[in-house]
A and B are shown apart, each in its own frame.
Chain A
Amino acid sequence: MAQLTYRASVSLAIAQSMRKDQKVFFIGEDVGAAGGVFKATVGLLEEFGKERVMDAPISEQAILGAAMGAAMTGLRPIAEIMFSDFLAVCWDIVANQIAKTRYMSDGQINIPLVIRTANGGGSKFGAQHSQSLENWSMMIPGLKVVAPSCPSDVLGLMDSAVKDPDPVIFYEHKSLYAFKEEIEQTDISIPIGEANTLHEGKDITIIGLALMAQRAKEAAFILKDKHDINAKVIDLRSLVPLDLQTIKKSVIETGHVLTVEENPRLCGWGAEISSLISEHCFKNLKGPVTRVTTPHVPLPSADILEDNTIPSVELIVNEVIKKLKGE
């Protein structure tokens, strides 16, 4: 049993994949000699050398293009985009090329690559280094979208992402890098597309992802201890593929649903979940599916502003009480 941070689990997960498969290599800006700007890739260059851990120029299109081309030949690249916000400068490669080439080629080409990226707020970095962009990739057919909420999920989901024959965008949450967990076994695999239950309960279903899943879990403890409300917290782990069955099963039991998203309101993933629940569980609902999101604004920088923009544990607790008790 060892305590592992989310940050350390990233480098360990990459190392484990690279030890197992010579076809795996790693490319990104400042990832090798510097060990990553979040120190999430420390030690990889030393273990695997320059041929497999490549420090790239600030050229996000060239990084993802090279990863895609290599993947087309059967290699299994892991490419880092330092901040998920930078996906905007290489979105053509992601959305037009990586996502669509398998389909357009009638299945002649597989693209088994992983794009890792630091996502989310909480660091007071301002509007261009703090966004939660899972929904950008969710709306593009051909991309798998993973967002782990804890070190063991980083390990297990990275293992599956690297082995996956399709492109996977792997959103690591910046505010979780320091998150610690007791880990018994590090070489584990978690299938992509299986949600995880973080807290059991039959009064309400709270659905979250990454940092918001952890905040929902904290909220569930408070709801139970102080308000006698038993919330089921579902950590989706991946948006594509989506574990609709786990959601349905819980909604049938609880009849109440709250989604907790870090992204701005419009077209957030919770809207799709809400729509699916309406279609599949309408008769089981005891009230409207509601969503907690950041307001529809760019993220501000100052402590008090950012803290009051991103959904907090307190906000989740209050929303649940409002829904169930009308207070």
Chain B
Amino acid sequence: MVDKLNDDIGEEKRLQLWEMMLKLRLVEKKAYDLFLQNLIKGTSHLALGQEAIAGAFGVALKQGDYTFCTYRGHAHTLARGSSIEGVLGELMGRQCGLMKGKGGSMHLTDVDNGVMGSYAIIGAHLTIANGTALASKYNKTNEVSVCFFGDGTTNIGAFHEALNMAKIWNLPIVFVCENNLYMEYTPIHEVTAVEHPAADRAGAYDLDKIIVDGNDADEMLRTAEKAISKAREGKGPSLIEAKTYRHSGHSRADPGKYRPDEEVKDWMENKDPIKNYRAKLLDFNINEKIISEIEEKIKDQVEKATEISMASPIPEIKEIYTDVWANGGSEWHN
């Protein structure tokens, strides 16, 4: 049972987290629908089932903080406050997209909201996130950088280089491993020397071993706030391993058949972060009418953003030749 007398989170923040997670869930579902209608081309990597992690950090971070995510980054981008039409428009290759169709699903970027890019080559962005953290330290400002990545990333060299550098330079950064148990199509434990792919490596870089239930939104929020505070106070980096599960396959092309039916069923029915959080809100005596109103509001927002995206024009062909260089062009000789 919940402990209502010692509630460190409170109704206001819980509803904020609820609204945030719901938005991530419903936009991802909409993205899936739009794929089925062939309105979104290319590939996509949905974060359905993993919303509590991006959601909790979205609530915990401040304007001005930096986030870096992977090709599975729609949710992390929305969690910083990017518009739904900015995300869906980019997926659909429309002018209203965050990058007007130049980047696509795997590279969502929204600097005004601190979304410093979505990175599609495993591991690279851990090293780059160190750079924004280094800049905060260099400038003696107090932004925090947060870098999200998957369990598969823990086996590439850049992960290890980045952790070592963050530690030796005491950088204000939080590394968040979303361990969804599968490295693309392969169970992570089959290809990793340790049981906990991120947390068991933390000791090698003199970092605390932090493992959290990434589908428990309250626990995720507490863990996020603690690590962010530590970074902001100049006490250095953290590495968090959040256990979670994706409801869909690795990407659009993957139905996820390699996962046992019982396992999928258990995570979908018993460990779904959204379903469980709704029940928790009721346990905390939050009025169901308020919960439902938020649901209706988000549904409405997603529908309206979808309409805006579908009505937005496709990019002009001349855009191919813009913005290679800071002068706006792409010329390489005089």
Residues of B within 8 A of A101 (CB): 109, 117
Q: Which residue of B lies closest to A58 (CB)?
A: B161
The interface bits of chain B over 173-194 (1 if a CB of A lies within 8 angstroms of the residue's CB, else 0) are 0000000000000000000000
Could you tell me the distance between the alpha carbons of A104 and B319 in the complex, rounded to whole angstroms?
Answer: 11
User: Is B165 a contact partner of A57 (Cβ separation < 8 A)?
Assistant: yes
User: Is A243 a contact partner of B127 (Cβ separation < 8 A)?
Assistant: no
Q: Which residue of A lies closest to B102 (CB)?
A: A106
User: Is B107 a contact partner of A105 (Cβ separation < 8 A)?
Assistant: yes
Could you tell me the distance between the alpha carbons of A108 and B136 in the complex, rounded to whole angstroms?
Answer: 19
Q: A70-B132, A141-B324 are in contact. Are A105 and B117 (CB under 8 A)?
A: yes
Residues of A within 8 A of B66 (CB): 73
User: Is A65 a contact partner of B131 (Cβ separation < 8 A)?
Assistant: yes
Minimal beta-carbon separation of B278 from chain A (angstroms): 36
Residue B234 at the chain A interface, CB threshold 8 Å: no
Minimal beta-carbon separation of B205 from chain A (angstroms): 12
User: Is A62 a contact partner of B130 (Cβ separation < 8 A)?
Assistant: yes
How many chain A residues touch B (CB < 8 A): the figure is 48
Could you tell me the distance between the alpha carbons of A112 and B326 in the complex, rounded to whole angstroms?
Answer: 9
Q: Which residue of A lies closest to B137 (CB)?
A: A51
Contact of B129 among A51, A69, A112 (CB under 8 A): A69
Could you tell me the distance between the alpha carbons of A67 and B129 in the complex, rounded to whole angstroms?
Answer: 10
Chain B CB within 10 Å — which of A64, A65, A110, A166 has the most? A65
Residue B256 at the chain A interface, CB threshold 8 Å: no
Residue B36 at the chain A interface, CB threshold 8 Å: no
User: Is A106 a contact partner of B334 (Cβ separation < 8 A)?
Assistant: no
Residues of A within 8 A of B324 (CB): 102-103, 141-142
Contact of A73 among B119, B132, B330 (CB under 8 A): B132
Residue A96 at the chain B interface, CB threshold 8 Å: yes
Contact of A68 among B98, B128, B165 (CB under 8 A): B128
Minimal beta-carbon separation of B299 from chain A (angstroms): 29
User: Is B138 a contact partner of A51 (Cβ separation < 8 A)?
Assistant: yes
User: Is A245 a contact partner of B334 (Cβ separation < 8 A)?
Assistant: yes
Residues of A within 8 A of B158 (CB): 61-62, 65, 92
Contact of B99 among A106, A110, A112, A165 (CB under 8 A): A106
Chain B CB within 10 Å — which of A56, A62, A97, A103 has the most? A62
Residue B76 at the chain A interface, CB threshold 8 Å: no
User: Is A105 a contact partner of B111 (Cβ separation < 8 A)?
Assistant: yes
Residue A198 at the chain B interface, CB threshold 8 Å: no
User: Is B328 a contact partner of A107 (Cβ separation < 8 A)?
Assistant: yes
Q: A57-B165, A104-B103 are in contact. Are A69 and B326 (CB under 8 A)?
A: no
User: Is B102 a contact partner of A103 (Cβ separation < 8 A)?
Assistant: yes
Q: A105-B103, A107-B328, A244-B334 are in contact. Are A75 and B138 (CB under 8 A)?
A: yes
Chain B CB within 10 Å — which of A68, A74, A242 has the most? A68
Residue A123 at the chain B interface, CB threshold 8 Å: no
Minimal beta-carbon separation of A17 from chain B (angstroms): 16
Residues of B within 8 A of A266 (CB): none
Could you tell me the distance between the alpha carbons of A114 and B42 in the complex, rounded to whole angstroms?
Answer: 34
Residue A276 at the chain B interface, CB threshold 8 Å: yes
Contact of B325 among A72, A106, A166, A243 (CB under 8 A): A166
Q: A71-B131, A104-B102 are in contact. Are A240 and B332 (CB under 8 A)?
A: yes
Residue B168 at the chain A interface, CB threshold 8 Å: yes
Residue A88 at the chain B interface, CB threshold 8 Å: no
Residues of A within 8 A of B161 (CB): 57, 59, 61-62, 65
Residues of B within 8 A of A67 (CB): 131
Could you tell me the distance between the alpha carbons of A96 and B118 in the complex, rounded to whole angstroms?
Answer: 12
The interface bits of chain A over 216-238 (1 if a CB of B lies within 8 angstroms of the residue's CB, else 0) are 00000000000000000000000
Residue A252 at the chain B interface, CB threshold 8 Å: no
Residue B323 at the chain A interface, CB threshold 8 Å: yes
Give residues 27-77 of B contacting A (CB, 8 Å): 66
Contact of A106 among B100, B116, B131, B333 (CB under 8 A): B100
Residue A201 at the chain B interface, CB threshold 8 Å: no
Minimal beta-carbon separation of B162 from chain A (angstroms): 6
Chain A CB within 10 Å — which of B117, B121, B169 has the most? B117
User: Is A106 a contact partner of B323 (Cβ separation < 8 A)?
Assistant: yes
Q: Which residue of A lies closest to B169 (CB)?
A: A54
Could you tell me the distance between the alpha carbons of A166 and B328 in the complex, rounded to whole angstroms?
Answer: 11
User: Is B162 a contact partner of A65 (Cβ separation < 8 A)?
Assistant: yes
Residues of A within 8 A of B102 (CB): 103-106
Could you tell me the distance between the alpha carbons of A92 and B157 in the complex, rounded to whole angstroms?
Answer: 12
Residue B263 at the chain A interface, CB threshold 8 Å: no
Residues of B within 8 A of A102 (CB): 323-326
Residue A241 at the chain B interface, CB threshold 8 Å: yes
User: Is A59 a contact partner of B117 (Cβ separation < 8 A)?
Assistant: no
Contact of A97 among B99, B100, B121 (CB under 8 A): B121
User: Is B127 a contact partner of A103 (Cβ separation < 8 A)?
Assistant: no
Q: Which residue of B lies closest to A244 (CB)?
A: B333
Residue A305 at the chain B interface, CB threshold 8 Å: no
Could you tell me the distance between the alpha carbons of A72 and B133 in the complex, rounded to whole angstroms?
Answer: 11
Could you tell me the distance between the alpha carbons of A130 and B161 in the complex, rounded to whole angstroms?
Answer: 25
Residue B3 at the chain A interface, CB threshold 8 Å: no
Q: Which residue of A lies closest to B109 (CB)?
A: A105
User: Is A57 a contact partner of B168 (Cβ separation < 8 A)?
Assistant: yes
Give residues 81-115 of A contacting B (CB, 8 Å): 92-93, 96-97, 101-110, 112
Residue B126 at the chain A interface, CB threshold 8 Å: yes
User: Is A72 a contact partner of B334 (Cβ separation < 8 A)?
Assistant: no
The interface bits of chain B over 298-331 (1 if a CB of A lies within 8 angstroms of the residue's CB, else 0) are 0000000000000000000000001111111011
Q: A62-B158, A243-B333 are in contact. Are A96 and B165 (CB under 8 A)?
A: no
Q: Which 10 A-B pairs give the minimum distances between C-beta atoms?
A: A69-B131, A65-B127, A165-B326, A62-B161, A106-B99, A59-B161, A107-B323, A242-B333, A73-B135, A104-B103
Can you report 7 A-B residue pairs in the complex whose CB atoms are below 8 A from each other? A61-B161, A62-B130, A64-B127, A68-B127, A77-B131, A102-B323, A241-B333
Sample of 16 further A-B pairs with CB below 8 A, known A105-B117, A242-B334: A51-B138, A56-B165, A57-B161, A62-B158, A65-B125, A93-B128, A103-B102, A104-B103, A105-B99, A106-B102, A107-B323, A109-B111, A112-B326, A141-B332, A142-B324, A241-B334
